[in-house]
Structure formats: structure tokens, C-alpha cells
């Protein structure tokens, strides 16, 4: 069941849809000033769970995540 999205979630979707390449979480943080990393990661993981975006952890342990729009590599 899909739920309505808040302004932050919509902003994240907009950033990823306009990007021509995958973005690291840190790059999204820099664009979304005054929003905590925790909130951004929470929204990104929810969007990934809803299959609206794709993401992958690169590196070991608590490595970097990269995120991209669902239709990026078709």
C-alpha cells in the first residue's frame, strides 16, 4: 500500500529524477541543506522499499550508499 509523500520525499525524488548519474547520500545532503542525514537516509530507504528508486551500498561495513532513479539503466 502506497502512502502520500511529504515535501522532503518529493524533493528527494525530484533530485534523483533530474540527475544523469547515481548520487551518493552525501551529495543529496549537500543539496538538501538543513535536513539531517538520518531523515534523508530514512526517506531514501523508504523510497527504495517502495521501488520508486534504486540504491546500493558500496564499500564494507557502514559504507557509502549510492542512489539512482528506477529507470536509469534501461
Give pLDDT tens digits for 26-60. Answer: 999 999 999 999 999 999 999 999 999 999 999 77
- 3 state DSSP class of 58: strand
Query: Which pLDDT score, from 0 to 100, does residue 3 have?
Result: 65
Residue ranges of the domains in the chain?
A: 7-69
The pLDDT value given to residue 5: 81
CA 26 – CA 23 distance, rounded (Å): 8
Judge whether 29 and 47 are in contact, CB under 8 Å. Answer: no
Which phi and psi (to 5°) does residue 23 adopt?
-115, 145
Residue 39: predicted pLDDT: 96
Whole-angstrom CA distances from 52 to 5, 40, 42, 60 are 12, 15, 14, 25
Domain 7-69 carries which CATH code? 1.10.10.10
Of 3-7, 14-18, 52-56, the range with the lowest mean pLDDT is 3-7
Three-state DSSP state, 46: helix
Structure-model confidence comparison of residues 62 and 23, the more confident one: 23
Amino acid at each position: 500500500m502506497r502512502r502520500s509523500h511529504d515535501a522532503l520525499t518529493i524533493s528527494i525524488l525530484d533530485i534523483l529524477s533530474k540527475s544523469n548519474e547515481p548520487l551518493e547520500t552525501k551529495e543529496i545532503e549537500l543539496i538538501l541543506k538543513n535536513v539531517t542525514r538520518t531523515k534523508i537516509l530514512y526517506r531514501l530507504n523508504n523510497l527504495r522499499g517502495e521501488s520508486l528508486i534504486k540504491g546500493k551500498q558500496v564499500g564494507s561495513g557502514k559504507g557509502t550508499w549510492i542512489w539512482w532513479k528506477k529507470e536509469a539503466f534501461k
